[in-house]
Amino acid sequence: MRKHYLIEVAQNDQQIVFCPAKLIKEKSIKRIAFGSKSMEVEFLPHPDKDDRIVISRKIQEKIQFPYFKVPLHAFLEKEILYIGPLVGIFTAGFTEYPDQPIGERTLFFSKLLSVSRSVGALPFVFGEQHIDWEQGTIEGFFFYENAWQSVEVPFPNVIYDRLPNRKSEANPKLMKVRNRLQKEYLIPWYNPGFFNKLDIYERLQQDASITPFLPETYPFTSFSSIEVMLSKYGHVFIKPKNGSSGHGIHQIIYDKQTDDYFCRYQDETGQNRLRKYSSLERLFQSVFASQSLERMLVQQGIHLIRKDQRPVDFRVHTNKDDQGEWRVTAIAGKIAGQGSVTTHARSGGDIKTLDEIFTKEESKIYTDKLSNVALLLSTALDNNIEGIVGEIGFDLGIDRHGDVWLFEANSKPGRSIFSHPELKDFDFLTRKLSIAFAVFLTEQSLSHPEEIFK
């Protein structure tokens, strides 16, 4: 287990670092580093403390170490002692208000940064406008002792991508920043990119161990292909390839007895609708008249287990921890609202723990099933997509036979399930591990950079 060290600043100008004797015993160390800044110093054993590293005021200024009393890790590599990690969280949407620097997402980021003490890292938030390329510094926004502080710091050890949407992700200016920090400065960048549903499905199909969990999914090509799937499954879902939060999802149902077609969806006012049509062509002419079907995919309908006659699906969060291992960090059930095509809360859905939905015995069985599948999917995605993935939110379903199905995988999962009072501990765990993974990445980038930048 890695040890945390409190970093103290002595009010002198000596270029001496006092370290625990065990840390520097019989090791040749010549420099101290924080983020991208380093300097040559002398190392001496601390006379009586084994839990702290003491640097002088001069060293602090030179390496631009912000004096926050947060225990940090120490990494020894090639005669350099690295303290940190310094974790940059890259996003967009900054404001001019000191108390609300990231607008309506300020609360989320304040909660995310508040895990620093338990993780042993210094995370901060920044945008492209806060980078000084000439000086190699960033004006970082830290949340310390319940207040936001802006501090100039070196380039970080790692960067966690928290861009808010696909539009910001596709911004050429922001893409250039990411490429430059990754390629010129060799800073590991994790969780880049929102997932494309069809792309994820096609990549996962290459793994034979995963295909049993994948519903049939195709890009929209013709009415006849939908007719085939409707005759086979009774109902299908039409989804945007790049959708999120349940927007734009339509369920099409075929009644063999009456030869009618039904479409369940949410209209522009947020109302749940169920409409009846005599043919599939008429349904599409009415419901999809203003939409580009080339951007849609068609997915097999699954007959989900139900609670109080309402379909239930599940959100499962997985995170990589400070050892780089996948862990299931949260599971919640989502019960569809009356007449809703999705289980999202904004459509009248309810968030429940598994213990609230099932008996104690059933809860254990379904928790194990969902956890096992989520970990298999996490590893498969990790192996089949580019970039460094540190967290995933899965939307999984369980059918009436007890089989698990993957509906969606989200690289930047929403956090609505954590509004449930019994999921607060899981809320903290997901936030903690999303930063703790940076500790692992920092260590890997120093000791085995070929593994990170392969």
Spatial separation of the C-alpha atoms in residues 84 and 119, rounded to whole Å: 11
What is the pLDDT, as a whole number, of residue 192? Answer: 81
Q: Kindly report, residue by residue over 384-403, the tens digit of the pLDDT.
A: 988 999 999 999 999 999 99
The answer to whether residue 337 scores a pLDDT higher than 90 is no
What is the pLDDT, as a whole number, of residue 214? Answer: 96
- Sign of the dihedral through C-alpha 272, 275, 281, 287: negative
Mean pLDDT over 211-230 rounds to 89
Give percent of the chain with pLDDT exceeding 90.
68
Q: Kindly report, residue by residue over 343-362, the tens digit of the pLDDT.
A: 555 555 789 999 999 999 99
Which of 199-213, 235-249, 294-308 has the lowest average pLDDT? 235-249
The answer to whether residue 284 scores a pLDDT higher than 90 is no
Pairing state of beta strands 122-126 and 310-320? unpaired
Q: Which two tokens stand for residue 314?
A: 């599940």
The answer to whether residue 247 scores a pLDDT higher than 80 is no
Cis preceding-peptide flag for 85 (omega within 30 of 0):
yes
Which of 162-166, 288-292, 372-376, 417-421 has the lowest average pLDDT? 288-292
Mean pLDDT over 62-86 rounds to 95
The answer to whether residue 167 scores a pLDDT higher than 60 is yes
The answer to whether residue 90 scores a pLDDT higher than 60 is yes
- Cα-Cα-Cα-Cα dihedral of 265, 266, 268, 274, to 10°? 60
Give percent of the chain with pLDDT exceeding 70.
96
Higher-pLDDT residue of 100 and 268 is 100
The answer to whether residue 94 scores a pLDDT higher than 60 is yes
Spatial separation of the C-alpha atoms in residues 371 and 357, rounded to whole Å: 17
Which of 84-93, 210-219, 240-249, 430-439 has the lowest average pLDDT? 240-249
Spatial separation of the C-alpha atoms in residues 138 and 88, rounded to whole Å: 9
- Give the pLDDT band of residue 245 (cuts 50, 70, 90): low
What is the pLDDT, as a whole number, of residue 290? Answer: 67
Mean pLDDT over 335-347 rounds to 64
- Give the pLDDT band of residue 54 (cuts 50, 70, 90): very high
The answer to whether residue 110 scores a pLDDT higher than 70 is yes
pTM score of the predicted model? 0.90
The answer to whether residue 339 scores a pLDDT higher than 60 is no
- Give the pLDDT band of residue 292 (cuts 50, 70, 90): confident
Kindly list the distances between the CA atom of residue 158 and the CA atoms of 58, 64, 154, 295, 297, in Å, as whole numbers in the listed order: 25, 17, 12, 34, 35
- Cα-Cα-Cα-Cα dihedral of 146, 152, 157, 158, to 10°? 60
Give the residue ranges of DSSP H helices in 143-279: 166-169, 172-183, 197-204, 223-233
Judge whether 157 and 87 are in contact, CB under 8 Å: yes
The answer to whether residue 293 scores a pLDDT higher than 80 is no
Spatial separation of the C-alpha atoms in residues 12 and 149, rounded to whole Å: 25
What is the pLDDT, as a whole number, of residue 126? Answer: 98
Judge whether 331 and 314 are in contact, CB under 8 Å: yes
What is the pLDDT, as a whole number, of residue 431? Answer: 96
- Give the pLDDT band of residue 49 (cuts 50, 70, 90): confident
- Give the pLDDT band of residue 244 (cuts 50, 70, 90): low
The answer to whether residue 31 scores a pLDDT higher than 90 is yes
What is the pLDDT, as a whole number, of residue 336? Answer: 79
For all residues of the chain together, what is the average pLDDT? 91
Give the residue ranges of DSSP H helices in 163-293: 166-169, 172-183, 197-204, 223-233, 280-287
DSSP string, 15-64: -EEEE-HHHHTT----EEEETTEEEE-EEEE-SS-SSEEEEEHHHHHHHT
**CB atoms near residue 424 (< 10 Å):** 11
